[in-house]
Amino acid sequence: MNDYVKQFLLRGLTFAGFGPIIAGFIYWMIDLSSADFSLAGWQVFIAIISTYILAFVQAGSSVFHQVEHWSPLKAALLHLTCIYFAYSGTYLMNSWIPFKWEVILIFTALFIATYGVIWLIIVLISKSVTKKLNNKLIKDN
């Protein structure tokens, strides 16, 4: 089996358990804010399964950035695509956002904008750290 696939599966399985914990936390917060909150058993089941899959994909897809023969843009676009479908699917299955095209469009725009901002911050920090390390190497030589 490909090493990247193994890493995807290992990372996914390692962190997937956080999904149901997050679902429990979300429902706990909803319960604290609403006087009339209840869930059917099937809703809890769907929340547990979908957030498990969400956390699995989120953690596993981080391996995309380690595939050396991929460009950073290709890795980022594949990562974005994977987690977008995992998040949007989870949110829609659990009715955390309604299945209305305008809502999905807003969610998509916010998701892509947030993803872009996070990666811009990561790139800027990485460049800064690289510059500092290079300057230190130059000084040490």
User: Looking at the predicted structure, is the pLDDT value of residue 34 above 80?
Assistant: no
DSSP helix/strand/coil, 95: coil
User: Looking at the predicted structure, is the pLDDT value of residue 55 above 70?
Assistant: yes
Using the structure block, give the residue that is written with the tokens 């209305």.
100
Residue 1: per-residue pLDDT: 61
Burial 44-73 (b: 16+ CB within 10 A, else e): eebbeebbbbbbbbbbbbbbbeeeeeeeee
Higher pLDDT, 109 or 22: 109
pLDDT digits (tens, 9 = 90+) for 76-94: 999 999 999 999 999 999 9
How large a percentage of the chain has pLDDT more than 70?
Answer: 97
CB-CB contact of 8 with 59 (8 Å): no
